[in-house]
Amino acid sequence: MIDWSQRHPGPELMDGADLAVEDLYQNYRELHIINKRLGGYGITISGIELLMDGKDREYSILDVGCGGGDMLYEISKWGKKQGCRFQLTGIDRSPAAIQYSTMKNRQIRWIEDDAFHFLSGERKFDIVTCTLFMHHFTDEKIIGLLARMTAAARRGVVINDLHRHPLAYYNIRWLTKLFSRSYLVKNDAPLSVLRGFSKEEWMRYTATANVKVHTLKWAWAFRYLTVIKTGE
């Protein structure tokens, strides 16, 4: 029996070490398809729009936990259509993630590093984004990462992550069982939903991290968009 009142502690298979590179690449390819078809990329982009003032057309953007790099690739395409000049940086501790991202787009700066270590420095970006990354952590680490991301953002932070809900869980479990060729996706996609969040949890995290929430709303398909304005 699933207890929907609390987050599953994990971990996911992706969080383990010594995974075969091709298995991870297949995982990234399938996650891209899922995000593309379910509109996941558009949620983060809508958050970025909320932090743009309509006058400046040049922004530095850091994507924390960039994985296969597709989020930044979609941001890059969108920015070009808007006539914006984005300086894009993606960070992930996985060598396979950085290798995969680099092969797909060499115009973006990719950094192999732990997010907590990278954000402990004095680096600043206009906007810091985080898509489907927070749910990999405990509540305590989420609060710490929120504080670090906010400190690194001149304009604000955009977080796009999963809503823990039975419909999301059973639908993704059914879809991946039918169509996925990746054992990582079949295991981790439903488990990710169980590690997702309620709105009340996001309110508690942001309050504890002492950050100012501009937007906290539900979005299809079973996501929460959290936008934090830093006001620099």
What is the pLDDT confidence band of residue 18, given thresholds at 50, 70 and 90? confident
Q: In the sheet where 153-162 sits, what is the strand order? A: 109-112, 85-92, 58-64, 125-131, 153-162, 223-229, 213-219
**Ramachandran class of 32: left when φ > 0, alpha when ψ lies in -120 to 50, beta otherwise:** alpha
Helices (runs of H) and strands (runs of E) counted in the chain: 9, 7
Determine, yes or no, domain membership for 33.
yes
Contacts of 104 (CB under 8 A, 6+ apart): 68, 69, 70, 73
For residue 122, tell me if it sits in a domain: yes
**Has residue 2 been placed in a domain?**
no
Q: Is residue 116 part of a domain?
A: yes
User: The whole model's pTM is what?
Assistant: 0.96
- Distance (Å, rounded) from C-alpha 92 to C-alpha 115? 7
Task: Provide the H-helix boundaries in the chain.
Answer: 21-38, 40-51, 70-82, 95-104, 115-118, 139-151, 166-179, 183-194, 199-209
The tokens describing 175, both together, are: 């879809």
- 153-162 and 125-131 strand pairing: parallel
| C-alpha distances in Å from residue 149, one per residue of 16, 42, 59, 139 | 24, 21, 16, 15
pLDDT at 232: 59
Instruction: Please give the tally of structural domains in the chain.
Output: 1
142 found inside a domain: yes
Whether 103 is covered by a domain: the verdict is: yes
Convert the pLDDT of each residue in 36-65 to its tens digit: 988 899 999 999 999 998 777 899 999 999
Bond prior to 11 in cis (omega within 30° of 0): yes
Model confidence at 207, pLDDT cuts 50, 70, 90, reads very high
Is residue 8 a part of any domain in this protein?
no
Digit-coded pLDDT (tens) for 162-181: 999 999 999 999 999 999 99
- Which residue range(s) make up the domain with 84? 13-229
Q: Let me know if residue 161 belongs to a domain.
A: yes
Tens of pLDDT along 133-151? 999 999 999 999 999 999 9
| Contact call for residues 48 and 158 (beta carbons, < 8 A) | yes
What is the CATH number for 79? Answer: 3.40.50.150
Calpha distance 133→115 (Å, rounded): 11
- Name 225's bridge partners: 160, 217
Structure tokens at 176: 């991946």
Q: Which residues, 6 or more positions from 189, have their beta carbon under 8 angstroms from its beta carbon?
A: 34, 172, 173, 176, 180
Q: Looking up tokens 């040049």, which residue turns up? A: 58
DSSP letter assigned to residue 226 = E
